[in-house]
């Protein structure tokens, strides 16, 4: 007969309580059932584990086995706790791949609520461009992606929000004084700093402006650093500078209707770990009740 975890639990409880009856009360079993399981364990070991019938004193071999039993029962109970925690999303691992603007403006409120409810879930948050997000999802190196993502076979994709493109410059820039009249034609010889999101603007009047740019800066932090320094101006979606309007101006152009659409993408729900499913539910609920982007 193989040693079962119930045998170890029974032996550990009898040794701890010092009697069959008290151990039986704790285990919720009859003293006879506890005595029978303990005998099975001793038969398997091939040696008595207690010196007396009262079970108040362990034999030398019993002392050695007690230390191992205590370790094994603690390990088993911890394993059970982890499994149950995973099923309730209390424990686990969540890998998020998002664009920088989403990481800084959208996710903080979502993650605050999530960790408040599931404080033991480990979260790996990485910001990257949308093309890289799609690759990370395809290679199963991310559970959930948020960005301007294409339709991908085998993935579920939902629109999370969209925001308008506009001109971004330092708040003291001369263009900021007359922003409500701005069009592509009025930009004149302004130095435009291009970025990866510019490719989403299909307005034909923007094409020559983009073509004459001599600066291409994919990284948002570096891009805004150049704008801050006065090197030039750029074109970005509104959300990118939503929390930076004390320093930068976001100027919607009168003749531009281009918008960036941001998607939420993951594998099918039944293929996701519980923590990822709960995160999807939370962010979807926040989108529905308007708390995801209250100021957009």
Residue with the larger pLDDT of the pair 143 and 82: 143
pLDDT in tens, 150-182: 898 889 999 999 998 999 999 988 888 877 778
pLDDT of residue 189: 82
Output the DSSP codes for 160-206.
Answer: EEEEEEEEEEETTSGGGGGGGG--GGGGTT--EEE-GGGGG---TTT
Instruction: Assign 1 a pLDDT band (cuts: 50, 70, 90).
Output: low
Average pLDDT over residues 99-114: 91
Residue 97: pLDDT over 90 = yes
Rg (CA), the chain: 31
pTM metric for this prediction = 0.68
pLDDT of residue 158: 93
pLDDT of residue 188: 75
Count CB-CB contacts under 10 A for residue 206. Answer: 20
Residues 117, 286: Cα–Cα separation, whole Å: 15
Residues 18, 56: Cα–Cα separation, whole Å: 5
pLDDT of residue 190: 87
Residue 89: pLDDT over 70 = no
Instruction: Assign 218 a pLDDT band (cuts: 50, 70, 90).
Output: confident
Give me the chain's average pLDDT, please. 88
Average pLDDT over residues 59-84: 86
Alpha helices (runs of H) in the chain, residue ranges in sequence order: 5-17, 20-27, 31-45, 60-87, 100-105, 107-117, 130-138, 207-211, 220-229, 274-289
Compute φ and ψ for 52, nearest 5 degrees. -130, 165
């Amino acid at each position: 007969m193989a040693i079962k975890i119930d045998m170890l639990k029974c032996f550990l409880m009898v040794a701890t309580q010092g009697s069959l009856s008290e151990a039986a009360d704790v285990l919720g079993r009859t003293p006879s059932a506890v005595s029978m399981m303990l005998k099975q364990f001793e038969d398997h070991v091939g040696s008595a584990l207690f010196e007396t019938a009262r079970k108040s004193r362990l034999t030398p071999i019993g002392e050695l086995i007690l230390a191992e039993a205590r370790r094994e029962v603690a390990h088993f109970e911890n394993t059970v706790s982890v499994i149950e925690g995973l099923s309730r999303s209390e424990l686990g691992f969540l890998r998020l791949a998002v664009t920088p603007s989403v990481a800084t403006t959208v996710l903080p409120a979502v993650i605050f609520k999530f960790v408040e409810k599931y404080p033991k879930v480990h979260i790996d948050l990485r910001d990257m461009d949308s093309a890289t997000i799609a690759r990370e999802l395809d290679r199963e190196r991310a559970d959930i992606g948020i960005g301007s993502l294409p339709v991908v076979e085998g993935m579920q994709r939902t629109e999370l929000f969209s925001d308008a493109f506009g001109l971004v410059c330092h708040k003291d820039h001369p263009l900021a004084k007359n922003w409500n009249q701005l069009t592509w034609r009025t930009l004149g010889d302004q130095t435009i700093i291009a970025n990866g999101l510019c490719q989403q603007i299909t307005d034909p009047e923007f094409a020559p402006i983009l073509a004459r740019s001599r600066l291409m800066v994919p990284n948002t932090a570096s891009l805004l650093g150049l704008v801050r320094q006065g090197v030039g101006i750029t074109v970005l979606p509104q959300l990118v500078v939503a929390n930076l309007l004390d320093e930068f101006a976001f100027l919607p152009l009168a003749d531009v209707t281009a918008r960036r659409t941001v998607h939420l993408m993951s594998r099918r729900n039944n293929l996701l770990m519980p923590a990822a499913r709960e995160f999807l539910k939370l962010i979807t609920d926040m989108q529905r009740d308007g708390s995801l982007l209250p100021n957009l």
